[in-house]
Amino acid sequence: MLRSIGAVSHGIIDYLMVIILAIGPGVAGFSGKQAVFCYVLAAVHFVMTVVTRFPLGAMKIIGFPLHGAIEALVAILLIVLPWMANFFAGVHSRNFFIAIGLLIGVIALLTNYRGITSSKISSTTSSSTSSRPTSSTKTS
């Protein structure tokens, strides 16, 4: 399978997904526990994106492949969540969760999670610090 989404593009998509999840209930017209699931998922997705070791991650704690595995699992769970949480009768929320689950699943399938290495991450972070002058120069 062609994995054409890179790490930077995936990061942008992740931050956009957080916004979609946060505004989804208001736009799609549902409330209650379905909306709470959306808000919690938006917060968790934001934290996971921030702590992922990829170019748009701020703390770089979890590996990008693990991030992908978690997203694949979340995609499956979102598709079945309306039945697991007993809100499948709510057409707007059910369709929203299925659509978001499918979207996250497609993104997970198209992302190259192995295309970024820790050396690439460390070189991008060290290159920003290496341009600073050091105090190790000798003065006579």
- In angstroms, rounded to a whole number, what is the distance separating the alpha carbons of residues 123 and 119? 6
CA distance 20 to 6: 21
Locate the domains of the chain by residue range: 7-116
- The pLDDT tens digits of the residues spanning 62-75 come to 999 999 999 999 99
Contact 22, 37 (CB under 8 A): no
Q: Which residue matches tokens 């996250």?
A: 104
117 pLDDT more than 60: no
Q: What is the pLDDT of residue 43?
A: 98
The percentage of residues in the chain with a pLDDT greater than 70, rounded to a whole number, is 81
Contact 58, 119 (CB under 8 A): no
